[in-house]
Chains A and B, each alone.
Chain A
Amino acid sequence: MTKLLHTCLVALLLTLYSGLALSELRQAQTVQDSELRADPSHNASSLGRIGKQASVMVQARQGGWYQVRTSTGQEGWLPLLSLRFVKQTQGSGSSNLGNLLSLGSKAAPASGVATGVRGISDEQLKSAAGSLPANLYDLEHFAAQPAEARAFAQQGGLQSQPLPYSRQ
């Protein structure tokens, strides 16, 4: 009973959590003219027009929208696809790592300097007990069953919907 309650609570929390704050402020540039909106919606009131190649700081994302602060200190929402992040000045990987799929040579072991976007380091994620010998048999071991996937989706509040592909 307690476990059920706990599961429900976690599911509820996960469902309610719809906005996504980025782990750090990130600098971005507009790639097209866009209206700065008061809320993350095309129907929200416009706070003014932002020209192409304007510099903004991205604070959070919600659906197809980024919450930004402009160089003049104005805050609002811009469409996700109207922005491109400015490239980081420091790389997160080490040099001379083998190409994962280069023939005859295995990828070089990680040097452990990469840090993920959410602050989890490559060192944390990499196998503590070494890699598994890779064969197809292992894959069966991890496979999910349809009922399991369904329950898991339900826990996360995921709801199926029919949607055709767009014709381009």
Chain B
Amino acid sequence: MFAIRITAQRALLLGLCLNLAACQGLEGIQVQGVDLGKLASVGQNLTNMGQKSADEEQVIGQNTASVLLQQASVLNNQELQRYVNRVGLWVAQHSERPDLRWRFVVLDSPQVAAYAAPAGYIFITRGMLLRMNSEAELAGVLAHEAAHVVQRHHLKAIQQQAQTGLLSDLATLAVQASAAKSGDSSKTAIADKFTRSVSDLYARGLDRGDEYEADAMGAVIATRAGYDPYGLAGVLQTLASTRQDDATLVSFLKTHPNIGDRLQRLEPVYQHIERHAHGSPQMLDMRYLQALRAQ
């Protein structure tokens, strides 16, 4: 329901922009003191800018995902991949960006990790899946990652890391990086800049503030999708109980804020959810278990 409402609002906005853009030749015409010509060209620019930056984000996202995939491998289990994509898409449709090309990937790694790339690419390792109890927990983690995409956390951070002022400059870098990968050696140095920026960011992790924000948004997004709101907190509880020197957890702990702090900051969020959410939230632990057992 929520997703539909958002889409309707967007359609309205887009329609307004298109209508204004369609009103050519309005220069100088004023209605109640408003210059329609100017308003029309603003509408045109808004439409173009929105589309342009969405395209740029898509190019940057694709190339970011590409860099990350070079350092990982994909789990060869079609059933499980499809399952995670269904859960993920359903969750993402309850975010503010339901119409992105959301893609979810289970990586074949024992490490505990989940991360997002711009434009809707979300990765989760089999090591992370193993430590979860239910579909609601999976939904909580995927919703946290979707929130990073909604807020463009990685996009902004890569932009900062690569020191490109404009989004279009970063998109150009990303395109050059992919051209260099396919053999054009003259662009290697430029390509390195993009690849290095991406790799540095994912090794270091996002700012703490971005993580807290994604937690707060993720718990709400998963609840909107009909899941037990406590999925995210449940996963964090489990990870907090794992030995902190566990080798599969080292990278997660390095790239994220202290789990106790995260749980504490989630407390007012859950109070808010308890006050405003209704219906019968689902955990779907049996369905989750079945999906993990499928080969």
Contacts and interface: CB of A to CB of B under 8 A. Distances in A.
B70 A122 contact: no
Contacts of A138: 74
Interface of A: 13-15, 17-18, 20, 22-23, 26, 31, 61, 63-64, 80-81, 83-97, 99-103, 106-107, 110-111, 114-118, 120, 122, 124-136, 138-140, 142-144, 146, 148-150, 152-153, 156-166, 168
Contact of A114 (B77, B130, B223, B230): B130
Given A63-B229, A101-B113, A143-B85, 19 more contacts: A15-B280, A84-B240, A87-B244, A91-B243, A93-B110, A94-B248, A100-B125, A107-B111, A114-B130, A116-B292, A120-B292, A131-B76, A132-B108, A136-B66, A139-B121, A152-B90, A153-B90, A157-B226, A166-B216
27 contacts: A15-B282, A18-B283, A80-B230, A80-B233, A81-B263, A81-B266, A81-B267, A84-B260, A87-B240, A91-B247, A92-B246, A93-B248, A96-B247, A97-B110, A106-B73, A107-B111, A115-B130, A124-B293, A131-B74, A132-B73, A143-B89, A146-B93, A153-B225, A160-B1, A161-B278, A162-B224, A165-B216
Interface of B: 1-3, 5, 62, 65-66, 68-78, 81-82, 84-90, 93-94, 101-105, 107-111, 113, 121, 125-127, 129-135, 199, 202-203, 216-217, 220, 223-230, 233-234, 237-238, 240-251, 260, 263-264, 266-274, 276-287, 289, 292-293, 295
Given A100-B251, A163-B220, A129 B3 contact: no
Contacts of A149: 86, 89-90, 93
A116 B224 contact: no
Contact of A131 (B73, B81, B267): B73
Nearest to A157: B282
Most chain-B CB neighbours within 10 Å: which of A86, A87, A93, A150?
A93
B101 to A, nearest CB: 8
Contacts of A136: 62, 65-66, 69
A39 to B, nearest CB: 15
Contacts of B234: 61, 80
A97 B266 contact: no
Contact of B127 (A31, A88, A114): A114
B284 A14 contact: yes
Nearest to A83: B237
A110 B110 contact: yes
Contacts of B264: 81
Given A134-B70, A136-B66, A86 B286 contact: no
A102 B72 CA distance: 10
Contacts of B292: 116, 118, 120, 125
B248 A97 contact: yes
A142 B104 contact: yes
A31 B230 CA distance: 18
A149 B127 CA distance: 24
Contact of A135 (B69, B224, B242): B69
Given A100-B71, A103-B199, A120-B292, A160 B268 contact: no
Contacts of B121: 139
Contacts of A139: 65, 103, 105, 121
Nearest to B132: A117
A17 B238 CA distance: 21
A7 to B, nearest CB: 12
A88 B273 CA distance: 31
Contacts of A83: 237
A124 B294 CA distance: 10
Contact of A125 (B103, B126, B238, B277): B126
B274 A88 contact: no
A127 B241 contact: no
Closest 8 CB pairs of A and B: A85-B241, A116-B130, A158-B226, A131-B73, A166-B272, A93-B248, A110-B110, A127-B76
